[in-house]
């Protein structure tokens, strides 16, 4: 029998993530895989993101029965093993023989025929371990569902145990435990291992009805009164989504864009893919908005999403903006590590290294410093990341304020109170959204990605 198209797609994507530093979510939604049926695309997505979420745990299980050290295995062989073990342990509806047979055939397809007996024997060892295998499957499915572990040691909190149980690099868990405490570190790790909620922003009044007609069931958002979450259905197959009238955008991302407020002239410094730009433009239909992104191809993508007539799009480096104009409001949502988005982008945790944070900070500070030069007198700047790391957040803001004496740090509480009084902020616990003067959403504590934001005001 031919290999399942879903598994072929998952295999190709996982190899590209591993070998080419690609991002899984972008590949899954690329034109190459648009011809997959809904069921096949769903299985491919489940396998790709599941393998990336649980990679270290899968590797641990493989290593226990492998006669060869994992670093010595060909990447194609290890990828096929990870796929099979993930399906065997986590996916109840996938027949075990189908997962095993297709993984063996994927090794053949990759022209690694000499490894076929090894792969076959290893997978048979795992599935043939009887009671241990069934117990492990039950435990893995509990973890994936975010339920309390059946392991009696689960409550013995330590960074090392959390890293093992929830498949995270130890250095990241240790950082979060130090910054947020062990309880929140555990909540972050658990949140990262679950399928995230799909949040929407509807750009016109008819969109909700059209989605309902297309069998997309919506529920009200949690943070914002005008946000929605998808209960069931596929919004990406609807006309409203293709026309750009429905945007998939995490609620914390929407909240950051709302902090920009209303102004006559607005600059968005790192604008692609364009969700925040579009929200800002919808909220400020008569304003002059300039959106900048470094990469020309992403600027084209930005134009498709932020299709408002009052948005001017420029492909340029935000560290050296090619104009001297100043703006009443500036958004600087800088490129970052993305550690607040690991439920959506699990490959980040395996790519990121501690030394990367210093390099990112240097770039972020350069972008912020450039943006501060474009704020008009009396104007405001919102600096944001989707990172949980202080080097990219408070440290960048502190350094920028030391170098630019004409700014003061605003208190995000005032902005959140204004959004709440205006009926836009629905989250009841305002204090939980704040870390001193900063906005801070935490995965697991809040039903969204982890975002940081600071408001800087020009005196």
Instruction: Kindly list the catalytic residues.
Output: 386
CA 144 to chain centroid, in Å, comes to 17
What's the rounded Cα separation, in Å, for the pair 332 and 343? 23
**Chain length of the chain:** 459
Specify whether the CB–CB gap between 256 and 333 falls below 8 A. yes
Distances (CA, A) of 6 to 38, 44, 96, 234: 10, 5, 15, 17
Q: Provide the b/e sequence for 246-261 (b: ≥16 CB within 10 Å).
A: bbebbbbbbbbbbbbb
Phi, psi of 128 (to 5 degrees): -90, 10
Residue 71 DSSP class: G
In this structure, how many other beta carbons lie within 10 angstroms of the beta carbon of residue 304?
A: 10
Question: In sequence order, what are the residues at sequence separation of 6 or more whose Cβ sits closer than 8 angstroms to the Cβ of residue 433?
Answer: 412, 416, 427, 439, 440, 441, 446
């Amino acid at each position: 029998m031919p290999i399942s198209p879903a598994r072929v797609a998952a295999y190709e994507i996982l190899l590209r993530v591993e070998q080419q530093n690609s991002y899984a979510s972008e590949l899954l939604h690329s034109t190459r895989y648009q011809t997959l049926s809904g069921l096949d695309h769903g299985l491919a997505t489940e396998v790709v993101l599941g393998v990336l979420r649980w990679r270290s745990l899968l590797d641990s299980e493989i290593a226990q029965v492998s006669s060869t050290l994992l670093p010595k295995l060909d990447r194609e062989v290890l990828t096929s093993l990870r796929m099979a073990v993930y399906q065997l342990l986590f996916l109840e509806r996938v027949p075990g023989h189908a997962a095993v047979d297709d993984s063996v055939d994927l090794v053949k397809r990759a022209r690694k025929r000499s490894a076929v007996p090894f792969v076959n024997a290893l997978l048979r060892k795992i599935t043939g371990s009887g009671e241990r295998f069934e117990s492990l499957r039950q435990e893995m499915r509990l973890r994936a569902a975010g339920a309390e572990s059946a392991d009696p040691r689960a409550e013995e909190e330590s960074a090392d145990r959390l890293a093992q149980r929830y498949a995270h690099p130890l250095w990241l868990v240790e950082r979060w435990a130090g910054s947020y405490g062990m309880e929140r570190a555990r909540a972050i790790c658990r949140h990262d291992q679950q399928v995230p909620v799909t949040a929407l922003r509807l750009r016109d009044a008819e969109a909700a009805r059209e989605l309902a007609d297309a069998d997309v069931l919506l529920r009200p958002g949690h943070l914002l009164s005008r946000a929605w979450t998808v209960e069931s259905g596929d919004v990406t197959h609807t006309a409203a989504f293709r026309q750009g009238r429905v945007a998939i955008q995490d609620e914390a991302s929407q909240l950051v864009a709302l902090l920009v407020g209303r102004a006559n002239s607005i600059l968005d410094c790192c604008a692609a893919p364009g969700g925040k730009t579009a929200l800002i433009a919808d909220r400020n239909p008569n304003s002059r908005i300039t959106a900048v992104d470094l990469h020309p191809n992403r600027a084209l993508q930005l134009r498709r999403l932020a299709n408002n007539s009052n948005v001017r799009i420029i492909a340029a480096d935000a560290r050296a903006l090619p104009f001297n104009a100043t703006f009443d409001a500036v958004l600087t949502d800088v490129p970052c590590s993305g550690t607040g988005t690991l439920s959506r982008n699990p490959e980040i945790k395996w790519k990121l290294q501690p030394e990367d944070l210093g390099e990112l900070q240097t770039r972020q500070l350069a972008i912020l410093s450039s943006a501060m030069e474009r704020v008009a007198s009396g104007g405001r700047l919102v600096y944001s990341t989707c990172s949980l790391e202080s080097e990219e957040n408070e440290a960048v803001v502190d350094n920028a304020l030391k170098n630019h004496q004409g700014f003061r740090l605003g208190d995000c509480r005032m902005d959140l109170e204004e959004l709440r009084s205006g009926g836009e902020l629905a989250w009841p616990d305002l204090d939980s959204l704040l870390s001193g003067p900063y906005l801070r959403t935490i995965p697991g504590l809040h039903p969204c990605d982890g975002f940081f934001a600071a408001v800087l005001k020009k005196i």
